[in-house]
Amino acid sequence: MTTALSPSSTTHLLIPALQWRREDTPRARRVAAVALSTELNAVITLASVAQSATELGCMGLSIRQAWEESADNLLALAGSPDNVELRVRPGPDSYHLFVRGTRATSWLAHPRTFHFLHRTVRSRVGFDPVFHLPALDSEYVEVSTTRRTRETFTHSAVYRNGFPVPAHLGHTRSNAFLLAA
């Protein structure tokens, strides 16, 4: 049986986060990252601070182990792996989806959690959503309830086998799933 963690305990837990990939980052400042696509990385945070491979190593973890642990932590913070607590705030053409205890955008940073979120949203809207990314640290995800495209966001991604793939590389439908700031 998995026990739900308190959202206030996140300062002591590893949590995944999305980060734009940047090849120009000096090696001394690089954080531990897992490449999710050509444009996005998953980084591992502790108290909202991205950790380096050295910092993770001091915890006795490889980058992969820390990434897996961070996904477990997301699931535990949201309720339990079998009963994730989602909160929906309806709007005229969309709704805001909140995940208990965590930033909704963190759920795109690991295949297990992104699969759950995608499956849940797809069952509600009836089509494969496109994820528009204006901010990577949003507390909620805005889901369009229509197939209308929102052209206001530069970066878009779709779900492919658990990973966020740039929409221009893997999807042409005009469905919208918006990550709001």
Predicted confidence (pLDDT) per residue in 107-159, tens digit: 889 999 999 888 888 887 788 877 766 577 778 777 766 655 555 555 667 78
User: Do 72 and 95 lie in a common domain?
Assistant: no
Q: What percent of the chain has pLDDT over 90?
A: 28
Indicate the residue among 50, 77, 104 that finishes a domain: 77
Indicate the residue among 23, 56, 77 that finishes a domain: 77
Cα 109 to Cα 107: distance, rounded to the nearest angstrom: 5
Indicate the residue among 16, 48, 77 that finishes a domain: 77
What pLDDT does 98 receive?
A: 85
Cα 63 to Cα 54: distance, rounded to the nearest angstrom: 10
Q: Find tokens 């993770």 and name the residue.
A: 56
Nearest-Å Rg of the Cα atoms of the chain is 16
Q: Find tokens 């490889």 and name the residue.
A: 62
What is the token pair recorded at 143?
Answer: 């889901």
User: Do 91 and 164 lie in a common domain?
Assistant: yes
Number of structural domains found in the chain: 2
| CA triple 28-133-19, angle to 5 deg | 15
